[in-house]
Structure 1
Amino acid sequence: MKVVLLAGGLGTRLAEETEVKPKPMVEIGGRPILWHIMKQYAHHGFKEFYVALGYKGEAIKRYFLDYYSLNGSVTIDFCSGQLQTRNRECDDWVIHLEDTGAQTMTGGRLKRLEPQLRDGGTFMLTYGDGVCDLDLGRLLEFHRRCGKLATITAVRPPARFGGLVFEGDLVAEFTEKPQIGEGWINGGFMVLEPGVFDYLEGDDTILEAHALERLAEDGQLAAYRHENFWQCMDTIRDKKLLESLWERGDAPWRVWE
Structure 2
Amino acid sequence: MITLQRTNTSDYREIIEALNQGGQGYVAIVDDKHKLIGLVTDGDVRRCLLDNTLSVTHLINMTPATCLVTESYEYVIQQLNEKHLKQMLLVDSNGCLAEVVSLDANVFANHKNKVVIMAGGLGSRLGELTKVTPKPMLHIAGKPIISHIIERFRNYGFRDFIISTNYKKEVIEDFLKNGREFGVNIEYVNENTRMGTAGALSLMREKLDLPFFVTNADVISMIDYPDLLRSHINSVCHATMCVRNYDCTIPFGVIQSDNNDIITDIVEKPTHSYSINAGIYVLNPELLAEIPDNTFYDMPNLFLDIAKKGIMAQKYQLNDYWIDIGNPDDYLLANKEAVEFL
Normalising to structure 1: TM-score of the pair?
0.75
Partner of 1:21: 133
- Letter aligned with residue 239 of structure 1: Y
1:35 alignment partner in structure 2: 147
Please name the residue that 1:250 is paired with.
340
SS in 2 for 1:152: strand
| One-letter code aligned to 1:14 | L
Q: CA separation in 2, counterparts of 1:244 and 1:130?
A: 15
Cα deviation for residue 250 of structure 1 reads 0.0
> Which position in structure 1 is the counterpart of 2:171?
59
Cα shift at 1:43: 1.4
Whether the 8 Å CA contact 1:24–1:33 is kept in 2: the answer is yes
2:111 paired with 1:9: no
Q: What's the counterpart of residue 275 of structure 2?
A: 184
Could you say which residue in structure 1 is the equivalent of 2:192? 101
Deviation at 1:226, TM superposition (A): 1.3
Partner amino acid for 1:127?
Answer: N
Matches within 5 A, 1:189-208: 189-208=280-299
| Superposed displacement of residue 42, structure 1 | 0.9
1:234 aligned to which of 323, 326, 336: 326
Q: Tell me which amino acid in the other structure corresponds to 2:301.
A: H
Q: Distance in 1 between matches of 2:233 and 2:176?
A: 32
Q: What residue number does 1:224 align with? A: 316
Looking at structure 1, the residues matched to 274 and 247 of structure 2 have their Cα atoms a distance apart, in angstroms, of 11
Please say if residues 4 and 50 of structure 1, whose CA atoms lie closer than 8 Å, have aligned partners that are also in contact. yes
1:54–1:157 distance in 2 versus 1, CA, 3 Å: farther
Q: Cα 1:108–1:66, aligned 2, differ >3 Å: closer, same or farther? A: closer
| Native 8 Å contact 2:179 2:185 kept in 1 | no
Letter of the 2:170 partner, please give it: E
Give the structure 1 partner of residue 22 of structure 2.
none
Q: Helix, strand or coil for the counterpart of 2:163?
A: strand
Q: What is the Cα deviation at residue 97 of structure 1?
A: 2.0
Structure with the greater alpha carbon radius of gyration: 2
Give the letter aligned to residue 324 of structure 2: C
Q: Is there any run of 5+ residues in structure 1 with no aligned partner, and where?
A: 69-89, 164-179
Distance 1:158 1:22, change over 3 A: farther
Do the aligned partners of 2:138 and 2:144 also contact (CA within 8 Å) in 1?
A: yes
Could you tell me the TM-score, scaled by structure 2's length?
Answer: 0.57
The 1:147/1:139 distance shift into structure 2, 3 A limit, reads same
User: What's 1:78 paired with?
Assistant: none
**Structure 1 consecutive aligned stretches of length 4 or more whose deviation exceeds 4 Å:** none
